[in-house]
Chains A and B, each alone.
Chain A
C-alpha cells in the first residue's frame, strides 16, 4: 500500500507542473499587448518599454514562467487588473463558497444516487426501476443552466419557497447557517442533478453485476435475509466502482458549479472566473483555474487511494 501511495503521489507532480505551464501559456495566447492594454493607446513608446521591463515582459518566456511559478508557490498570484487588489485576496473566499456548494451538492448526489441506484438495482424491472431509470436518463442530459432557470421560476419566483439568488439574505442582521442552507437548496440541486443521475445509473448496474454472482446465490441458499445480503455483502462488493465515480463527480461538480453560480449569482469561484473573463481580468482567471484544477487533481488522487485501500486487487496491479 505504501509503495502504491508513493507511486501515485509522485505521478501527479509532473501533471501539476504541466497544468501550471498550460495555464501560464494560455494567458499568453490572448490577442493584443497586455502593456498597451494597461497604459491605453495614447502611451509613448518609451513609457511602454519601461513598463514592459518593470513587469519582466521583455525576458524570454521560460524566465517569465519560472518567476511566475516561484511567486505562485508562495501564494502570490499577482494583482487583479480590474479591481487592483491582490488576486489571492479575491480568489480564496470565493473558493470556499464553491467548496460549500460542492459539499451540499455532493450530499444530494450521494443520498439520491445511492438510494435510487440501490432500490432500482435490487428491484430490476419494477415500476420504480422503470420510472427512475427513464428519469435519470432525462436528468443526465439536462443542461444545468436550464434546470437552474426552471427551478428558479417554479420554486423561487412562483411558489416563493426558496430565495432566487445569492448566498445570504441582504436584510438579515446576522449570518446564520439556516439562512445559508435555505439559499443553497436550489443551487445545490441544480449542480447535483447530472451527477446524481449518473451515480444512480452506475450504482444500479454495479449492483446488478454483484447480485448475480454465485456467492449471493450461496448466501440466499444459506437463508440470509435480502436486507442482510444487500447491505452486508452486496453493497461492500459493489462499492469500489461507486466510490470511483463519486470521486470523479466531485471534480465534475466543482467545474459544473460554474453554470449554477452564474444562474443563481452564488459568489463562488465559477462566478468569479466568468465575471473576470467578461472583464478581461486575466490574472484572476489564471489563479482561479489553477487553484480549481489543483484541487481537482488532488481529489482524484484521494479517490484512487481510497479505492486502492478498499480493493487490494488494484494496488497490486
Chain B
C-alpha cells in the first residue's frame, strides 16, 4: 500500500532552481483580514460610523477619567441650565446634574445592556442552530419549534413582559433582551447550517473519514459564523434603543445610575421649559444606533464576495 501510494510530498520533489519562498511570496493570497479591510475601508460612511462607535466606546471605558463632574451629584443653583452654560457644555438636568457627565457614564450602561446580550445570544444561538441544523430529526424539531413559540411574540412586548415580571435591574434587562434575541439569531444560524451541511465539501470531508465532530467544528461552524455575525451586528443598534426604552419605562437600570433611556425619561417633566434634558440623550441614542446599523451593513457588504466591488 505504502509503495503504491507514496506520500504527497515525495511525489513532487522540490526543484532546486526555483526559490520556493520567492514563488510563495509572489502568489501568496492576501489574508482574509486584508481582503475584508480593503473592501470595508472603501465604504466611507461605514468607516465614519465605526469611528463614532469607537469614540463612544472609548469615552464609556474612560468615563472615570474624562467625565468632568460626578454624574449623580447635582448643583441646585444651576438646575435646568441650558446648553452652553459655562463649565457645562450640554447644560444641566432637573436635579442640577451635568448632562455631559451623565451622557458619558450613561453610555457605559447603554452600550453594555445591548452589546452583552447580543454577544451571549449569538453564542447561544450558534450552538442551538448548529445542533438543530446538523443533527436534524428530533433535535431540530425540539429546538426550532420551541424557538418558534418565542418568535411568535412581538419582540417589544416580550422584552417588556419579561423585564416587568423579573423586576428592575441591569441583569434582568440583559436577560430579557437575550431571550428576545435568541429565536431571531438562531433562525439565521440554523439556515446557514442547513445550507452549509449540503455543500459538496462537507460530503468530501465525510468521504475522507472525518468524524461528525470534526465536520461540525472544522467545516460547518466556520462557514456559518459570517452570516450570523453580520446579522447580529445589525441588531446591536435596535437593542440599544430597546434597552434604553426599557429604562425609559423604569423597567431597566435603577436611578441614580445614569442611562440614556432614564435620562430621556428624567426630562419628561421639564419638556416645556428645558427640552434639552430629554433631547440630548435621545440624539446620542440615534447617533449610536444608526452607526451600528451602518457598520452592520458595511460588514455585510465587505464579507460577501458577491457584493464586493
Give A contacts to B, CB under 8 Å. Answer: 14-16, 18-19, 21-22, 26-27, 29-31, 137-138, 140-146, 149-150, 152-153, 157-158, 251-252, 254-256, 258-259, 262, 270, 273-274, 277-278, 282, 285, 289, 292-293, 296-297
Instruction: Report how far A252 CA is from B164 CA in the complex, Å.
Output: 19
CB distance from B134 to the nearest CB of A (A): 23
Give B contacts to A, CB under 8 Å. Answer: 145-146, 148-150, 152-158, 160-162, 164-167, 237, 241, 244-245, 248-251, 261, 264, 267-268, 271-272, 275, 278-279, 282, 285-286, 289-290, 293-294
In the complex, which residues of chain B have a beta carbon less than 8 angstroms from the beta carbon of A31? Answer: 167
Q: Quick one: which of A14, A26, A146 has the most chain B CB within 10 A?
A: A146
Q: Once the chains bind, are B293 and A292 in contact (CB under 8 Å)?
A: no
Q: Once the chains bind, are A146 and B282 in contact (CB under 8 Å)?
A: yes
In the complex, which residues of chain A have a beta carbon less than 8 angstroms from the beta carbon of B294? Answer: 137
Closest residue of chain A to B238, judged by CB?
A141
In the complex, which residues of chain A have a beta carbon less than 8 angstroms from the beta carbon of B167? Answer: 31
CB distance from B167 to the nearest CB of A (A): 7
Q: Once the chains bind, are B165 and A26 in contact (CB under 8 Å)?
A: yes
Instruction: Report how far A256 CA is from B279 CA in the complex, Å.
Output: 20
Closest residue of chain A to B157, judged by CB?
A255
Q: Once the chains bind, are B289 and A141 in contact (CB under 8 Å)?
A: yes
Q: Once the chains bind, are B156 and A255 in contact (CB under 8 Å)?
A: yes
Q: Once the chains bind, are B249 and A262 in contact (CB under 8 Å)?
A: yes
Q: Once the chains bind, are A252 and B145 in contact (CB under 8 Å)?
A: no
Instruction: Report how far A153 CA is from B146 CA in the complex, Å.
Output: 44
Closest residue of chain B to A27, judged by CB?
B165
In the complex, which residues of chain B have a beta carbon less than 8 angstroms from the beta carbon of A26? Answer: 161-162, 165
Q: Once the chains bind, are A258 and B267 in contact (CB under 8 Å)?
A: no
Q: Once the chains bind, are B290 and A137 in contact (CB under 8 Å)?
A: yes
Known contacts A31-B167, A143-B245, A262-B249; is-contact A289 B286 (Cβ 8 Å): no
Known contacts A255-B154, A262-B249; is-contact A142 B286 (Cβ 8 Å): yes
Known contacts A15-B149, A255-B157, A277-B164; is-contact A153 B290 (Cβ 8 Å): no
Q: Once the chains bind, are A277 and B237 in contact (CB under 8 Å)?
A: no
Known contacts A18-B149, A258-B157, A293-B154; is-contact A150 B282 (Cβ 8 Å): yes
CB distance from A249 to the nearest CB of B (A): 11
Q: Once the chains bind, are B162 and A145 in contact (CB under 8 Å)?
A: no
In the complex, which residues of chain B have a beta carbon less than 8 angstroms from the beta carbon of A140? Answer: 293
Instruction: Report how far A29 CA is from B267 CA in the complex, Å.
Output: 33
Residue in A19, A30, A157, A297 whose CB lies within 8 Å of B271: A157
Q: Once the chains bind, are A143 and B286 in contact (CB under 8 Å)?
A: yes
Q: Once the chains bind, are A296 and B153 in contact (CB under 8 Å)?
A: yes
Closest residue of chain B to A157, judged by CB?
B272
CB distance from B119 to the nearest CB of A (A): 20
Closest residue of chain B to A31, judged by CB?
B167
Q: Once the chains bind, are B149 and A141 in contact (CB under 8 Å)?
A: no
Known contacts A258-B160, A273-B160; is-contact A251 B148 (Cβ 8 Å): no
In the complex, which residues of chain B have a beta carbon less than 8 angstroms from the beta carbon of A252? Answer: 154-156
The 10 closest A-B pairs by CB, nearest first: A255-B154, A18-B149, A277-B164, A146-B282, A255-B156, A141-B289, A141-B290, A255-B157, A157-B272, A143-B241
Instruction: Report how far A140 CA is from B146 CA in the complex, Å.
Output: 30
Residue in B152, B244, B272 whose CB lies within 8 Å of A293: B152
CB distance from B141 to the nearest CB of A (A): 11
Q: Once the chains bind, are A18 and B152 in contact (CB under 8 Å)?
A: yes
CB distance from A109 to the nearest CB of B (A): 16
Instruction: Report how far A316 CA is from B146 CA in the complex, Å.
Output: 26
CB distance from B301 to the nearest CB of A (A): 14
In the complex, which residues of chain A have a beta carbon less than 8 angstroms from the beta carbon of B271? Answer: 149, 152-153, 157
Closest residue of chain A to B167, judged by CB?
A31
CB distance from B282 to the nearest CB of A (A): 4
Q: Once the chains bind, are B156 and A146 in contact (CB under 8 Å)?
A: no
Instruction: Report how far A21 CA is from B150 CA in the complex, Å.
Output: 11
Instruction: Report how far A73 CA is from B294 CA in the complex, Å.
Output: 46
In the complex, which residues of chain B have a beta carbon less than 8 angstroms from the beta carbon of A258? Answer: 156-157, 160
Instruction: Report how far A146 CA is from B143 CA in the complex, Å.
Output: 37
Known contacts A146-B282, A285-B165; is-contact A141 B237 (Cβ 8 Å): yes
Q: Once the chains bind, are A145 and B149 in contact (CB under 8 Å)?
A: no
CB distance from A155 to the nearest CB of B (A): 12
Residue in B145, B149, B162, B245 whose CB lies within 8 Å of A259: B245
Q: Once the chains bind, are B264 and A277 in contact (CB under 8 Å)?
A: no
In the complex, which residues of chain B have a beta carbon less than 8 angstroms from the beta carbon of A145? Answer: 245, 248, 261, 264
Q: Once the chains bind, are B160 and A14 in contact (CB under 8 Å)?
A: no
In the complex, which residues of chain A have a beta carbon less than 8 angstroms from the beta carbon of B162? Answer: 26
Q: Once the chains bind, are B248 and A29 in contact (CB under 8 Å)?
A: no
Closest residue of chain B to A299, judged by CB?
B154
Known contacts A14-B145, A285-B164; is-contact A149 B282 (Cβ 8 Å): yes
CB distance from A295 to the nearest CB of B (A): 9
In the complex, which residues of chain B have a beta carbon less than 8 angstroms from the beta carbon of A22? Answer: 149-150, 153
Instruction: Report how far A149 CA is from B244 CA in the complex, Å.
Output: 14
Residue in B152, B245, B251, B275 whose CB lies within 8 Å of A19: B152
In the complex, which residues of chain A have a beta carbon less than 8 angstroms from the beta carbon of B285? Answer: 143, 146
Q: Quick one: which of B149, B166, B293 has the most chain A CB within 10 A?
A: B149
Q: Once the chains bind, are A251 and B154 in contact (CB under 8 Å)?
A: yes
Instruction: Report how far A297 CA is from B166 CA in the complex, Å.
Output: 25
Residue in A19, A255, A270, A297 whose CB lies within 8 Å of B155: A255
Given contacts A252-B155, A259-B248, A292-B154, 15 further A-B contacts (CB under 8 A): A18-B146, A22-B149, A22-B153, A26-B162, A29-B166, A30-B165, A141-B290, A146-B278, A150-B275, A158-B272, A252-B154, A254-B154, A256-B154, A270-B157, A289-B153
